[in-house]
Amino acid sequence: MNAHNNKTHWWETATIYQIYPRSFNDSNDDGIGDLNGIRERIPYLKNLGIDAVWLSPFYKSPGADAGYDVSDYLSIDKAAGDFPEFDALVSELHNNDLKIIIDIVPNHCSIEHELFLKALASAPGSAERELFHFRDGTGENGELPPNNWKSHFGGNAWTQITNPNGEPDQWYLHLFDPGQPDFNWDNPAVEQYFLDVLEFWLERGVDGFRVDVAHLLSKDPLLPNWDGPANGKQHPDFPTQDSPMFGRDEVHNIFRSWRELLDKYSSDTGTEKMMCGEVCVQPLSWQAQWARPDEMHTVFNFSLLEIGFDSEAWATTISNSLEAFNAVGAPTTWVLNNHDVARSTTRLGYSEGYPKPGDGVGPDDPQPDIEKGLRRACAAVSTLFALPGSVYIYQGEELGLPDHTTLSAQFRNDPTYFRTAGKRIGRDGCRIPLPWNSTEKNFGFSDADSTWLPQPAEFDTYSANLQERDQDSTLQLYKLLIKTRKNLNLGSSTLRMIDHNVSPRILAFTIGETTVVMNTDDRPINISELTQEKQLILASIPEALVNEHWLAAESTVWLSV
Ligand code: NOJ
């Protein structure tokens, strides 16, 4: 990896743990997780062996999209805490040799953001409105939206406002919820505004940024109609290059100026600042354009998350990923879970794989086979941790948590659910508060009478306290994977696929001095061709290797060469 230089930067090989603050740990018993709650759990994070945390938004927000609608980028939401608590968290993380990455949401803010409120109070064509995409409506009296763009959460991407006299006024663009107006990134004032935001947080000591929907910021200024990807096949969140709002050339200049700022801070402070972009475009060679040397340091590679449990698809995806990112001299990232998709235990619990990322599973849907899902998720992550580059894990993944798939409608929070009239269940199921202790109230997450999303009863068996005591638990597997990956320097080693004749359901590769074999079949397979004269390093399930030659169904082993 990174043949262009020999020095490894921390973000090239790190294991980064995503914290969704409102569901991590609640220190003040209001049912919502907070910054102090994170600080209380630093010993757990340290013990897990990770290198960095990424915090989803904790800024002031009315909560139209669980914090991804920010009303003040230079603030901390009361429910999350305050600045002294944030500063204490940063310094305690740093004292424990853990980095902190925070989430920046530059495509849109909240309708309660001061700049948007000013735009509403100003006239059409004013400088205030030019910070957003305000347009007159079409139709005889402007009663129709300016174009046919759709919101990612369902429905129209435009909302009409009324003027101070209560009469119909212009429309504003929101690629997500109406509570999330899109900024106009053609306006230099927006660019400057965000450079100041980045600088503010760099001054407070953060080590990097996760950049929300980094492919969406620039739009074709003519805002032409668009009927969706030309091939008509893809999910709207994963568009092709033929659109007026995804991955336009101008967007790269934005991140070049961000990179300059980060480089300046890195050299001024002698620490390495980084950013990782959420860039939902395909193919990988296009996505890698965001990770060119003068842009983002890394981008999320979601490709393993989008495929099922299939060794051939994994082999192709791994090779394509390495090729695409090597071509721009950037490390690859690997991801199986985040706060936007059904968890891998749930997803892989379906025999056909999970078809629609982000759509979630509800009580009326067929329910996953959780036992199978967890076994496959453990095999998948055991392969993932052997890959070169950096790894992102999502809180609760290390406990093998499934989604809450029977959450009733009254508790739903995700705008996707409401904007599609329940057709898409949405993402609440993967955002449930963590179970820390099986015998405590709300499984140790909070002492409140209720939590912002309720936990299902079956979460008790996944509780961290039980898994700490059980040598065969998912939590112990994650600790072992993280530690062994680090000890063997797998993050910066070279991967070679093994061309074998064992079975098409077997994925095999070497990484440095280690051989990794994954069986995606539901039967054991004789892999003696691959195991000769090798010692077992670790396995995704106890007794994965039977008689030293048979690899158990849906399992992964690491062997020493
Ligand atoms: C991507 C975030 O991960 C998701 O949670 C959010 O809803 C959208 N961007 C909009 O900010």
Ligand 1 site residues, Cβ closer than 6 angstroms: 65, 68, 105, 176, 212-213, 278, 339-340
Label the pairing between strands 168-173 and 158-162. Answer: antiparallel
Label the pairing between strands 158-162 and 545-546. Answer: unpaired
The residue type of 553 is A
**Structural contact between residues 181 and 116, judged by C-beta atoms closer than 8 angstroms:** yes
The residue type of 13 is T
**Structural contact between residues 11 and 386, judged by C-beta atoms closer than 8 angstroms:** no
Whether 212 is a known active-site residue: answer yes
- Active-site choice (177, 212, 295, 397): 212
Given the CA of residue 105, which atom of ligand 1 is nearest to it?
A: 11
SS3 441: helix
How much helix, strand and coil, in percent to the nearest 5, is found in the chain?
30, 15, 55
131-165 burial, b at 16+ Cβ within 10 Å, e below that, comes to: bbbbbebeeeebeebbbebebbbbbbbbbbeeeee
Give the Å distance between the CA of 339 and the centre of ligand 1.
9
**Structural contact between residues 192 and 200, judged by C-beta atoms closer than 8 angstroms:** no
Nearest-CA residue for ligand 1 atom 6 is 68
Question: Where do the domains of the chain lie, and which CATH numbers do they carry?
Answer: 10-110+184-479 (3.20.20.80), 114-173 (3.90.400.10), 493-560 (2.60.40.1180)
Whether 533 is a known active-site residue: answer no
Nearest-CA residue for ligand 1 atom 11 is 68
Phi and psi (nearest 5°) for 514? -110, 140
- Tens-of-pLDDT digits for all 561 residues of the chain? 343 445 689 999 999 999 999 999 999 999 999 999 999 999 999 999 999 999 999 999 999 999 999 999 999 999 999 999 999 999 999 999 999 999 999 999 999 999 999 999 999 999 999 999 999 999 999 999 999 999 999 899 999 999 988 999 999 999 999 999 999 999 999 999 999 999 999 999 999 999 999 999 999 999 999 887 665 544 555 566 778 998 999 999 999 999 999 999 999 999 999 999 999 988 999 999 999 999 999 999 999 998 999 999 999 999 999 999 999 999 999 999 999 999 999 999 998 756 566 789 999 999 999 999 999 999 999 999 999 999 999 999 999 999 999 999 999 999 999 999 999 999 999 999 999 999 999 999 999 999 999 999 999 999 999 999 999 999 999 999 999 999 999 999 999 999 999 999 999 999 999 999 999 999 999 999 999 999 999 999 999 998 889 999 999 999 997
**Structural contact between residues 60 and 76, judged by C-beta atoms closer than 8 angstroms:** yes
Can you read off the two tokens belonging to residue 293? 């040397």
The pTM assigned to this predicted structure is 0.97
Handedness of CA 315, 402, 372, 486 (dihedral sign): positive
d(CA 315, CA 509): 9
Given the CA of residue 427, which atom of ligand 1 is nearest to it?
A: 5
CA 116 to chain centre: 27
Alpha helices in 144-187 (DSSP H): none
Residue from 19, 65, 109, 414 whose mutation best tests the ligand 1 pocket (most atoms within 8 A of CB):
65
**Structural contact between residues 380 and 309, judged by C-beta atoms closer than 8 angstroms:** yes
- Active-site choice (278, 359, 398, 428): 278
d(CA 158, CA 346): 34
**Structural contact between residues 512 and 13, judged by C-beta atoms closer than 8 angstroms:** no
d(CA 66, CA 63): 5
Given the CA of residue 69, which atom of ligand 1 is nearest to it?
A: 11
Q: For the chain, what is the radius of gyration of the CA atoms?
A: 23
Handedness of CA 305, 310, 315, 320 (dihedral sign): negative
